[in-house]
A and B are shown apart, each in its own frame.
Chain A
């Protein structure tokens, strides 16, 4: 009955208090600085009734100061077969804390809840759809849900995000079932908080957290903000119970319940693969052939129903359908490899912006699955199984250089994926440019891309002619009337090298100045990092991946022109990277040539906030040096 009383109490509390407490002008001025919304109160109450029965109540009061603050209302619940919404209601208050509108559960809107790249999912969302008349206003939201998936306990993230202040945030976990739990506190020292934990229960609260603002090239919000991460030692997922305290045990549970048994293949496909790999002795070569077979015969389609969000389709099913999601395709590839005696590991990871599977704290994590083939005395081969085009063993910036967890029969194992170094992230450009007296040019262009830059460009190969053209036209908007004579690509997947061979012309590259032409030394700019001023940089500067540019531009002047003024060669080396610019003039068959060799390197690294000015200065210098121009002039006028 305890629960019933809590709910009633909360309901009473909100109606009695709303009149007075949630006036906008009772917010401390300090909390209004930089804030789009103020969370007046956030209370999460988790009641673990049994290993497969968890009730989560939320009481949340948010004052929305402007339109951007609306994303902090968070008056919604996702639901599906395993998660039922027991209660949901909201009250809207005006500036003075006076009630202006009430929403009962049936007034909430319901819609399907999955992204475009997913074909179908049974997940839905029930959300508050309210159009405000004016800002600021306050939303009181109360909800109660019941889930059988105790593997996903909510954690406590009192700071919530950028540009939001918090008056009061609290978190309680009532563990009626007395299941042993684990938790870890991070970055709490930055808060005014208190805790009152006992063996099975948790109780945290914090007050008056001022809004934080986003800084580019800084640490992720996730890594720097206050958090308490929580997991039960015994848990349940879609009716499958488990028990674990560390990655080894948790990985073992995942293997046994989600992966094991899904790798059975038909004899037909096994003999087909046998045929394909016949006569090939090296394990790597065999894997390469099998990977190509998967790429040629499958595509990415995600359907997520119930346990299907975590358990791969069986290999047999994927073989028949010719499609699957990351789990299904990875598991299928793993099965095909296994049929030829090649062991590989199903590896859970976060795809996208660099984010780790937490090596220190074991909890259901990850949004993607890849495959790794261990090798003796060498790094693993990593396979991204959802792409039909990506080279064998290539990860790119989607899954590189981060912690992941291998789900192995003997248990989970934390590993780090392949990293691309500053030197490997290379783009080499060579252009021969023939200028004409109108300021336009004809150019023979070659660019070779490796490492992470390879991944940014190689899919251009699949595009038809007109899309390739518009790609360049959009990216090189500084060329006027850009016109292509030929576009030719060489994609060497084995060595991960993409070569663009282009021949094109354009007008008005040099700006005219009377009879003179001002010729930019910079033909195209690979290095496009720009850094805005920031007088009060608070966080570290992080460059996640280094980059190397080697650019060679050979300009042949129009007949009858010569160089009047030329920028000097320059070399700058800093702890952040370097730029060297060499400019020289050579005479070739009575035609003058300006030869520009520019090498830019931006190093990977972490620097303290005090270095921000220096860092920005370096970036500005790179651009300044890059943006210089030579002056060329008709011979008889010089």
Chain B
């Protein structure tokens, strides 16, 4: 044995002891309770000192395999803001036939009291069971005697009869995790795939190990004769031998997931492992597939949903549809009819899920249903009209993005309609969406289109076209302010958003309340066109008057060229950015302004024209100023051709907006003309 090895052993030994960390439940050290702040993240409100999750399958002679999940968490609370970590909720699935059960739960709080380590146990009557919905139970508790500095610790075990439901293993929290141990031990009969969150930058090593397992059990046999009389009792000892696959994660000092403003669904960026059951293969039986490929997923979904060609459907909508479609042959016109008919007829009840809740027929009859009910009904009707419509499985932003062929990763469905080479996406649960327009909840990266023939492909859900607003103003400047007319055009998703925002009856679509910062803005003669006509360009026209738009100081008049329509605020305020920036959709915003000067005034100074480009297919800001005689013409174009930006592009975007605001706020200066009609310092725009 070399000396080196001994040294290493010794060091290891010392290290183990020097650290003297004991992660056994109940073995919290004084040192941990005395710790004042997190050694790495000084401003952490709390930290997980230790988390272990142990998932394995128990074999029971009566019930067979049972999935066991054991969780042990030791959490340090540094300050009052960290108290919320002492509250814990554990969700469990409660199916119609069987339920997940918590069969073990213990908790202890540790405090230093007069130099002594004191323990306070969580009591049974401090643990509450709540039915949060038909299928979910929540066990909630809060730890007793929690103060600044407390260490809390709890351990719980869940038994689940749902053997494929390992689900998600969290690997990162919004507080640091000092030590994490995850063991997932799976018998050879179950084949799982595991997926790491690609949106997390944390590198996680997974060790794999094969282990033999042996299970002894005795069975008791009783033989009776044909009269029911016992003729023999035998006890036999049986042994089951199999191989366990053990996957382990051992990691220290996992940084906290950083909170950032304007990040929706932060949990999508955390490190985690997802476990998806692919198939089972038990001795003496055939392979049972769950989902190993998109084809498998497609097949099972088509089967489950009953939306195949051979669909045995009774004719509950045929008559109404025949009437509706009589004499129409153009596929888009047919689609439009069906789409509007269904939207009128069946309303969304607010529940997600691609799986029908009520059933298509019941949804049709009762007039309401979940996402699955309505959009599968839409597909069914489109198919009835001989259109090539198929389900597109979608995951909403809060649900994350599916990483692998899966049924469980999706929670939403829309219709994908193929006409010629084009695929139109339709969602009949949004009353304001036209054909090809999706609500925000369905616009999450990509969806999986699943065809009758069980082939499938990814479909981009993010709009690639630019939606537009175009403002045209004719402004007359007087010495008592500004007045004029405005025409505003909305296309695409801007028009859809407008319809969603203004569907409630209100005078003039609430125009009077849209600019609360311009108190004296007066609007009159408001008209709108196409504000109910889904999919069409929407137009607003109105007259305005705004005395405060101009400041008359000495012999000069100052005003901002876009008056109340200029961009006021930079959406990006933070110094830096960790996560990607996601706009709702690509957009272009155009302002075209013609300004008429008052008599006796001429241009003293004008803002300079600029052009700021983000890159050819990315976006640009153009601000062009032309002034001559008594008129000024301004045009402003803000164009963003894509909707997703990387964190590295943050600074550029921030600068982009800061330029827009600077230009939109830059004042035009007018000056009284001299008696002879000429000013000495008149400048013209460049």
Q: Give A residues with C-beta under 8 Å from B.
A: 66-68, 100-101, 110-112, 119-120, 129-134, 296-297, 299, 301, 303, 320-323, 388-389, 462-466, 469-470, 473-474, 477-478, 480-483, 507-508, 511-516, 518, 530, 532, 564-565, 620, 623-624, 627-629, 631
Contact = CB atoms under 8 A, between A and B. Distances in A.
A480 B87 contact: no
10 contacts: A120-B128, A130-B368, A320-B144, A507-B658, A507-B662, A518-B558, A532-B513, A564-B554, A620-B520, A629-B551
A513 B80 contact: no
A320 B661 contact: no
Nearest to B148: A296
Given A470-B573, A518-B667, A132 B144 contact: no
B604 interface: yes
A514 B669 contact: yes
B346 interface: yes
Contacts of B553: 564-565, 629, 631
A133 B346 contact: yes
- Residue of A67, A111, A119, A530 contacting most chain B CB atoms (<10 Å): A119
Given A296-B147, A301-B87, A323-B142, A480 B344 contact: no
Contacts of A629: 551, 553, 558
Contact of B145 (A100, A321, A513): A321
Interface string B642-667: 00000000000010001001100111
A514 B684 CA distance: 11
A contact patch SS: mixed
Nearest to B570: A480
Given A470-B261, A480-B570, A462 B80 contact: yes
Interface string B74-107: 0000011101001100000000000000000000
B128 A101 contact: no
A530 B551 contact: no
A483 B570 CA distance: 14
Nearest to A515: B605
Given A119-B128, A131-B368, A514-B605, A323 B144 contact: yes
A532 B513 CA distance: 9
B669 A513 contact: yes
Interface in B537-593: 548, 551, 553-554, 556, 558, 560, 568-570, 573-575
A514 B80 contact: no
B97 to A, nearest CB: 21
Nearest to A514: B605
Contact of A112 (B130, B348, B368, B654): B130
Contacts of A464: 43
B87 A119 contact: yes
Interface-central residue, B79, B140, B667, by most chain A CB under 10 Å? B667
Contacts of A134: 344
Contact of A120 (B130, B575, B605, B683): B130
A67 B662 contact: no
Interface string B105-147: 0000100000000001000001010111100000011101111
Interface in B344-376: 344-350, 366-368
Ranked 3 nearest A-B pairs via Cβ: A514-B605, A131-B368, A513-B667
A323 B146 contact: yes
A301 B145 CA distance: 11
B39 interface: no
Contact of A131 (B128, B130, B144, B348): B348
A101 B658 contact: no
Given A132-B347, A565-B553, A624-B548, A514 B573 contact: no
A513 B605 contact: yes
Contacts of A119: 87, 128, 140-142
Contacts of B658: 480-481, 507-508
B228 interface: no
Contacts of B569: 477-478
Contacts of B367: 100, 131, 133
B254 to A, nearest CB: 19
Contacts of A511: 560, 665-667
Nearest to B505: A66
A631 B558 CA distance: 10
A452 B125 CA distance: 40
A184 B658 CA distance: 61
B666 A112 contact: no
A303 B516 CA distance: 42
Give the one of A120, A131, A511 with max B CB within 10 A.
A131
A112 B138 CA distance: 11
Interface centre among A465, A513, A530 (most CB of B within 10 A): A513
Contacts of B350: 131
Contact of B516 (A110, A130, A465, A530): A530
Contacts of B344: 133-134
Given A119-B141, A564-B553, 17 more contacts: A68-B504, A100-B367, A120-B128, A299-B83, A301-B87, A303-B128, A388-B80, A389-B80, A477-B568, A480-B661, A482-B573, A483-B575, A507-B662, A514-B606, A518-B667, A530-B519, A629-B551
A209 B606 CA distance: 59
Interface string B590-629: 0000000000000011110000000000000000000000
B668 interface: yes
B554 A565 contact: yes
Given A301-B87, A322-B144, A462-B80, A133 B668 contact: no
Contacts of A389: 80
Nearest to B517: A530
Nearest to A122: B128
A238 to B, nearest CB: 18
Contacts of A513: 558, 605, 666-669
B79 A462 contact: yes
A133 B661 contact: no
A67 B347 CA distance: 13
Contacts of A462: 79-81
